[in-house]
Chains A and B, each alone.
Chain A
Amino acid sequence: MRFIFVIKFLILYFYLCFSVSALVIGSDEQEIYIDANFTGKDLLVFGAFYSDPTQPRDEKRDLLIEVIGPSEDVILRKKDSFFGFWLNRHSVEFRDVPGFYYLSSTRELEDEFLDNNKIGLLKSERAQDLDWSSLTIDWGNIESANDKNDFYKALIRTKDREKLYKRLNDQIEILDGNLFRTNIEIPNTVPVGIYKVNVFMINNDKISQTYSYNFTVTRVGIEEAIFNFSKNFPLLYGLISLIIAILIGWSGAEIFKRFRRT
């Protein structure tokens, strides 16, 4: 085991010495377990990045960290006044949107850069610049670009309110010019599944290195067992719920009747 590790280390070392630039990443968790008491946690991502030694030290270098959660389908509904009542009048279905999205960089990156590199879900607030192609959307009765943009912004806003979508600058801490660390907040509302972490190193507005890894989010505990049971054996689950109701209802009446007699 140790031998393999030494070999790996040597390979990495030589790779760092001879390549123009490199990126190495570590993380403290491969798996996050959410139980009933989970109130969210900070996922630590750290690593080192080395630039081409032939380039000047003050060369423009930046890091970008992207975390993409498992995809889900959502329906976004908009209420409108209908004879004084506020009712859901319009609905748009977004398919395969990430259930969690996090984008953090060492400095604010231009939308143009993100667009060119196909990074980002939260890249623009301007309707004409939106890239809808990455999402499958059923627009229903919504036609104008302006209305579409409202829905797009509302999707991001509602997800942002649940702390599920985030775009940050200056959250990445650079330690000595080559080492970095950052804490990614994982709230308790996150969906379960496989999460992909992409770390990009940017030299002179070009992505020079990319490093990716996955981690999983799993729900555990009695609550999760009940949830799965209700989905997998709905009839049995319903019957058990019923038996519990019958037992408590019946025994409650019996106990109190005896209690009152004495």
Chain B
Amino acid sequence: MSIYLPIAEISINIYLLLSIGGAVGFLSGMFGLGGGFLMTPLLIFMGIPTNVAVATSANQIVASSISGTMGHWRQGLVDFKMGSVLLFGGFFGSIFGVWIFNKLVLIGQIETVISILYFILLVSIGTLMLIESSQVIRDRIRKTTVKKKIHYHNWAHRLPFKVRFYKSKLYISVIPPIIIGFLIGILSATMGIGGAFILIPAMIYFLGMPTSKVIGTSLFQIIFITALVTILHATTTFAVDAVLAFFLILSSVIGAQFGVIAANKLRGEEIRALLAVIVLTVAVKIALDLLLIPDDVFNISVTRTLF
């Protein structure tokens, strides 16, 4: 059975759509990631236009982030002050990102730029996950644990405009979190991702936030940024497909719950290595699309229809 997507303007098999949403949801539930970095390329592979894939993916992340943030919220693991500072940067970043996006659509380079950005992103994530999971597996065999420093100072502590973040027990400048928020906002708007896998390490290593508060705070920031990105895309690129989003959200929210259950029962490292392989495979497919001679070097886009 196929369904017509009104904004993407294509018909697509509904079971294929639900299984992709479910699978990405499952992986995101299992690893606590939004899954946008897999959702957007998979939608593009299915033949959905790049701009619709990006904008709709942002809308889907709002749902999966809300689903994931409830628990953290109730346990008080969200640093709202830090979240708001990140949001301030993210607000301008996502506006700037959508502006870049529109410019790229206009000059016809959006597909290429998105492909290259995704290739870089997926190769980095895949490689890091592969290294990390293999290290954990190796450490488990050797039965050693590495002790981490509780608190450390770096350049982020030497900048002006210092503010006290009580919940995170930090006294740092607002400039680094604003810059981080800004950059994540650009990525959200142009790639249709939440950016947790960049945001979380940045919060731990650059800002020195306690790990317990990082996930809840990053989800808080991601909800608002992807919500803003959804609105910005709906009003400027007109690329949010509500029908596509509905089926993706429905299947990914259900998939995520099963992912959480599976994560409690299975050993994480092997699965993480598997996810790394999936991510790298997607990256290779993107690279091939860029490097191989296309079937037809010409492509057409209708810019105006007369009603």
User: What distance in Å separates the Cβ of B143 from its nearest Cβ neighbour in chain A?
Assistant: 33
Q: Which listed segment binds B: A48-56, A104-112, A198-206, A234-242?
A: A234-242
Q: Which residues of chain B are within 8 angstroms of A99 by Cβ–Cβ distance?
A: 302, 305
Q: Counting CB contacts under 8 A, is B7 at the interface?
A: yes
Q: Counting CB contacts under 8 A, is B227 at the interface?
A: yes
Q: Which residues of chain B are within 8 angstroms of A239 by Cβ–Cβ distance?
A: 231
Give Cα distance in the complex from A36 to B1, angstroms.
Answer: 12
Give Cα distance in the complex from A55 to B216, angstroms.
Answer: 90
User: Quick one: which of B242, B261, B297 contacts A241, CB cutoff 8 A?
Assistant: B242
A→B interface (CB under 8 Å): 36, 70-80, 84-88, 91, 93, 99, 151, 154-155, 157-159, 191-193, 223-224, 226-227, 230-231, 234-235, 237-242, 244-246, 248-250, 252-254, 256-257, 260
Q: Are A249 and B299 in contact (CB under 8 A)?
A: no
Q: Which residues of chain A are within 8 angstroms of B3 by Cβ–Cβ distance?
A: 36
Contacts A248-B250, A249-B67; is A238 near B240 (CB within 8 Å)? yes
Which of B63, B108, B256 has its CB near the most chain A CB atoms (within 10 A)? Answer: B63
Q: Counting CB contacts under 8 A, is B290 at the interface?
A: yes
Give Cα distance in the complex from A79 to B298, angstroms.
Answer: 6
Q: Are A245 and B63 in contact (CB under 8 A)?
A: yes
User: Quick one: which of A155, A193, A224 contacts B306, CB cutoff 8 A?
Assistant: A193
Give Cα distance in the complex from A158 to B294, angstroms.
Answer: 14
Q: Are A256 and B257 in contact (CB under 8 A)?
A: yes
User: Quick one: which of A84, A249, A252, A254 contacts B62, CB cutoff 8 A?
Assistant: A249
Q: Are A192 and B307 in contact (CB under 8 A)?
A: yes
Q: Which residues of chain B are within 8 angstroms of A85 by Cβ–Cβ distance?
A: 112, 290-291
Q: Counting CB contacts under 8 A, is B249 at the interface?
A: yes
Where chain B touches its partner, the secondary structure class is: helix
A selection of 18 A-B contacts at a CB cut-off of 8 Å is A36-B3, A36-B4, A73-B302, A76-B300, A78-B297, A151-B298, A158-B298, A158-B300, A159-B300, A230-B238, A234-B238, A235-B231, A238-B234, A242-B59, A245-B60, A245-B245, A246-B66, A249-B64
Q: Are A74 and B6 in contact (CB under 8 A)?
A: no
Q: Counting CB contacts under 8 A, is B145 at the interface?
A: no
Q: Are B67 and A253 in contact (CB under 8 A)?
A: yes
Q: Are B302 and A245 in contact (CB under 8 A)?
A: no
User: What distance in Å separates the Cβ of A228 from its nearest Cβ neighbour in chain B?
Assistant: 9
Q: Are B249 and A230 in contact (CB under 8 A)?
A: no
Contacts A244-B249, A250-B66; is A74 near B303 (CB within 8 Å)? yes
Q: Which residues of chain A are within 8 angstroms of B292 by Cβ–Cβ distance?
A: 86
User: What distance in Å separates the Cβ of B257 from its nearest Cβ neighbour in chain A?
Assistant: 4
Question: How many residues on chain B are close to A (CB under 8 Å)?
Answer: 57
Q: Which residues of chain B are within 8 angstroms of A91 by Cβ–Cβ distance?
A: 108
**Chain B 1-36 against A: per-residue CB contact (8 Å), 1 yes, 0 no?**
001111100010000000000000000000000000
Contacts A226-B6, A237-B234; is A242 near B253 (CB within 8 Å)? no
Q: Are A86 and B293 in contact (CB under 8 A)?
A: yes
Q: Which residues of chain A are within 8 angstroms of B234 by Cβ–Cβ distance?
A: 230, 234-235, 237-238, 241
Give Cα distance in the complex from A85 to B292, angstroms.
Answer: 8
**Chain B 115-127 against A: per-residue CB contact (8 Å), 1 yes, 0 no?**
0000000000000
Give Cα distance in the complex from A157 to B297, angstroms.
Answer: 12
Q: Are A230 and B242 in contact (CB under 8 A)?
A: yes
Give Cα distance in the complex from A244 to B300, angstroms.
Answer: 33
Q: Counting CB contacts under 8 A, is B65 at the interface?
A: yes
Give Cα distance in the complex from A86 to B249, angstroms.
Answer: 34
User: What distance in Å separates the Cβ of A241 from its nearest Cβ neighbour in chain B?
Assistant: 5
**Chain B 216-259 against A: per-residue CB contact (8 Å), 1 yes, 0 no?**
00000000000100110111001010110110011001101100
Contacts A72-B302, A240-B242, A248-B250; is A80 near B235 (CB within 8 Å)? no
User: What distance in Å separates the Cβ of B156 from its nearest Cβ neighbour in chain A?
Assistant: 32
Give Cα distance in the complex from A223 to B243, angstroms.
Answer: 8
